[in-house]
Structure 1
């Protein structure tokens, strides 16, 4: 028996604009028995059909839409079509020549809500974040097997957001033998990726173009790379002839990977310019400021500070604090390259945070350019929330 979700009066507007989410507060009633991941029909309060979606009884996002075509079944062919379309889009419009690692499916923006799929050379890593993809996991795996028959297919559905959907963490290799690590190439730079325990699906593919841009500002400069993780901004800085680079991260294992990444790419003589410091970035920035250390370029790429709107003010204070300290550590004419990957922090809010940080540091910044996620992390026009990564290249004046 079909399950129908009936919306409250006037709450169909977002679906008419093809936004893929239906929140709990928009629902008037549910007709039929809807379990976790059940495909439901969504209708307006007068009974007009709007979309099909996956029901999630434990999430505030109660339904994530699969399709706005009433005749389209959510079957094996559906997932193969959606993944094939994403592959075709990336093959046609995304520049693959300089990398063997890229995002194949960017969830809602590629028409598959809650599904992230990345390609690392000959390994496909998928991450299923919500109830619908979890229910249809076998179909997604079968589609990937058909499209990438020689690839390892690995699942890294081990993120905390799954708890909001009532789902347990899952890590599983569906086909082939997973290597502990894989070496990818990006703009002629070799990078080690930990597919078992690395952040996200193993690596931050979204910063590819931004790393390249940052490297272009580093010639003969003293560079501080904060929240350095596995050192990839440092690799580009050194390739760009930086005079000195300090990588700072709280994770010793990430720093060890960073050291290996540098060894893959540079001579012993070049590596004398690079150091790695295990420390809390907030604390170390204060120590550097108080001791009079100064830098020409500071890269500030922190982890996500905010998971929900309740924590937005606290996150904004955190972003402001680290950017204020960065302003104080910059030489006059120095460059701050700063990011937020928190989707709840809008570009306008981020601009204001950085401006307020400069004001508190008694200085002024000039914004040279805005940065965003690379092109394989496509953003659907109907889903502006897909534009989560924002960055600024700023000069201290």
Structure 2
């Protein structure tokens, strides 16, 4: 029997480990070279924290920051479309990159300030009939109810004509504020709202995509409230908006858009107490692509004009019927319907017939705010289990028929 000296044993032991490490390195290299390529999709279902760690590494500026930046760009490129609304990679991207957390600082609102600018800014609280009516409805429906989650699409700067500020400040709700206009959104974080926010837009389909958003700049010097109203008419390019682009000078910008359902999944908030949908003409596409069997919304406020034929086409297109678009209504001269230059309207006679003034005279647009209801939208929402609670001047309030809110307040359908 051969006996080895301690020195020889030590030498053979070292060489044994070197051979093992060499073989291991060869196998790893071989597996890397023969593995299938991933085409840029590097976030797996088994590693939910990977994307978050990449952003943290990028912020630290680590040694591999270039590689991390490249990987982030790869997945951001996926958001240009098409990624389906419930794609896990998309949801992680939305949560980490496009959603800002609720503020933990005291609110900073024009509502609580003095001075001429604040007075002009807050004029909507006493003069904007649409906002006043919706605010009163929300007080009636939700006063005394436990806090819930809201979504406001078309949130502007987070305060001006906000439908959700009352729910947050007075009732303790939280939620999500979505605004596509980059200039309007720039003022939103400074409000310190207790809600998530996102400078994105709701996609008019069931996939994430990067689209052109047309914002409007006032054509002349205006006060702050008038300027905000002009900017509030921004809309997705190619969408027939209520303002028809007549409020200011058009400025196109590129905006990342996500399906409404994606936001809810990313925030784990598929049960929603209230949604305010003021998206300047894109509401039909958004609602038609929503997976209604996977979300639970109690109350909807939807701004919708009957000139938008999306719901009509939805019901009639299978039979090949598409009515021509309705021409825009012409605005009468004068600041008040029926009154020009501050003088009373004088009845005129045309071909022996008397020109009878309208029964209702409404500020600016001279139309009956109780008219113009789209029966196709009402039909669509009823089929989804909702009752029309209120309609006024293009603003619809729908309540889920089997909800406790409806049992308390849905007395008679609005016809």
TM-score bracket, shorter-length normalisation? 0.3 to 0.5
- Relative to its length, the structure with more strand (as a share) is 1
From the CA coordinates, give the structure whose radius of gyration is larger: 2
